[in-house]
Chains A and B, each alone.
Chain A
């Protein structure tokens, strides 16, 4: 008997998935985010997080930062397909582990509990530039900036100190040193 496996669809060898941060500079026009996101969903690529905002109001340029996972072949396709979109100016791609790159996410954490718990919570956050944005005698809202995994950990830790609500951004990225991605 023959061994009819995949034929017209899947490549034989499965490659390893890596996490990449893709940064896209686009014209800030109607529907541009839908084009980028639609490309990901339409071609079956994964989006782990997404951050987007205008960075150059004069030239109307927005910067989209997408964290995605895929095989090297898929990551290459993502970059090339993004590059084909008309409003896209440039595409940069960084491995998540890349030492030359800074990645940051921001989170707002709401703690409800007695004084002891609230103090403990702020202490837990110490490493991640905590800013207390709001304080009452029952609650506190803390802002932290950290890596994704660090925020995951701290959320776990804060469960026992009365964490009731979390709001997180997607990751943003920037190169270290004087270099600018062209």
Chain B
């Protein structure tokens, strides 16, 4: 007779069989049996966070930087509700997470028991799928299925809710990992004729553009290699969404920079005027398209995505291709090479006018800003951070707001999985715990959270986690004492009525750092900035870097609400002539 295992043991057996090395969590009454079992499983290390939201974001950071699913363990009731923000964040940005939550014993479910909540009900809209385990015999099957659902197709979070009595009950363990991806939810349904059509469009196009997104990162490092090959093979210009940064080298000449609301002038204008748009693993998000009925009016649109429901959701496309972007790009490259071996050179002439136009837009130098020798400009701070860390294979996380956009604009990424930011949900407080997770996955790498002082205070408690596990994360705060993006919108839309966007009582971040047992550094002037950044890099401890920046600076360029791609605000002078009026004000 085979051995019987308790539910708690089965949880760990599953995690071991899934090669899980780290779990991020916080104990509580309804998960105590699982925590009791932790000591018997040396290959799995538990990272104790200070708040369950932090566990979720740390697992996201871990997943995004390593390509492996992040695992979260929380208790019932408040433990589960606290992780909801992180699950929703992972759902919006397609990050594979497996969240295991404790639940009150089955006989108490529905009685409003202590720390009971309808966890599967609450998390149903923010997970790919969730399970309430009612029979211990189903447990191993469900956990393995949970990993499968989280990591296949378009990745995303899942949750397994395990009542406490199930954690004690005993049964046999069944290893049911499916090695083959036979699940009907996986869509690699494209065929050669679609690839042929795409290649034909590419050959005929004189104003093409590649628009790539997070799907390229999610598809794995091979996708980035294939993308580079495709770009050099075609000679096409390429732009990327916020989530796609790093899949193509940010300092390459064919790269036009990020597109969208705070994208570059050249990227947005190229999107507007192109005759062929090839969307690879992006989803026509509203931050990208701007005004949808004036979005790229003259182009044929091709959309490559693994999720068929992303296609024709926001923008109607001419050629949808459903599949893993790696597979599709591989087919395109093969077909293109066969049909037209020296496409790049023959295509050069055809697209020369287009490239001329692009360099005209480029010469506007839309990321430019007026630097100062008295106050630190936030853009300047990020540029210096980039220059001083670019040779180090640095991992960057961010919070949400102006600093996030400046980081996306001015920090150039050369490799995938180096850039972790909350794009879809826009979660302030994401970056610090995410940095914890990234540093866990890459203990010897430099991990910097480019933060704003308002965002970082939402999850500042995780500094304590960083100290506990000796994680030398660097929290680089662009401190302007305002919720900068809120203030910018109030300036543009609400006649400078800065309602509640100024934080009147900020902590002293240097002494705060010391209180946590890490290092605090403050930079006040441009002169001392470089030295201080170097100091930060050289400390082998967690650092809070308080960079006092210009309080009034706004993030440009910008597509204002209600405007299409070709009507960008380029800077403070532009904004007077190009005011947002009427219904544009009501949009977010």
Seen from chain A, the residues whose Cβ lies within 8 Å of a Cβ on chain B are 1-13, 30-31, 34-35, 38, 42, 73, 76-77, 80-81, 83-86
Contact = CB atoms under 8 A, between A and B. Distances in A.
A78 to B, nearest CB: 9
Interface stretch (B68-76, B263-271, B286-294): B286-294
B307 interface: yes
Contact of B309 (A2, A6, A34, A84): A84
A86 B129 contact: yes
Contact of A77 (B294, B313, B582): B313
A4 B149 contact: no
A165 to B, nearest CB: 32
B128 interface: yes
Interface stretch (B78-86, B119-127, B249-257, B456-464): B119-127
B443 interface: no
B484 to A, nearest CB: 20
B342 interface: no
A73 B149 CA distance: 27
Nearest to B286: A8
A30 B132 contact: yes
Interface string B541-583: 0000000000000000000011100010000000000001111
A35 B128 CA distance: 11
Counting from the closest, the 8 A-B pairs by CB-CB distance are A12-B293, A4-B562, A4-B584, A80-B309, A8-B286, A7-B562, A86-B129, A7-B291
Contacts of A42: 125
Given A2-B581, A84-B307, A9 B286 contact: yes
Most buried by B among A10, A38, A84: A84
Given A31-B124, A86-B185, 9 more contacts: A2-B567, A4-B583, A5-B583, A6-B583, A11-B314, A31-B121, A83-B309, A84-B309, A85-B129
A6 B312 contact: no
A11 B312 CA distance: 12
A73 to B, nearest CB: 6
A4 B149 CA distance: 42
Contact of A4 (B132, B289, B563): B563
Contacts of B121: 31, 34
17 contacts: A2-B563, A2-B567, A3-B582, A4-B582, A4-B584, A6-B292, A7-B291, A7-B292, A8-B287, A8-B587, A31-B120, A31-B121, A42-B125, A76-B312, A80-B311, A85-B129, A86-B128
A77 B292 contact: no
B494 interface: no
A97 to B, nearest CB: 23
Contacts of A34: 121, 124
A36 to B, nearest CB: 11
A86 B584 contact: no
Contacts of B291: 5-7
A13 B293 contact: yes
A4 B579 CA distance: 10
B293 A9 contact: no
A7 to B, nearest CB: 4
A40 B584 CA distance: 28
A30 to B, nearest CB: 7
Nearest to A34: B124
Nearest to B154: A84
Given A11-B292, A12-B292, A80-B308, A4 B580 contact: yes
B334 interface: no
Nearest to B322: A80
B298 interface: no
A13 B292 CA distance: 10
A35 B561 contact: no
A11 B562 CA distance: 12
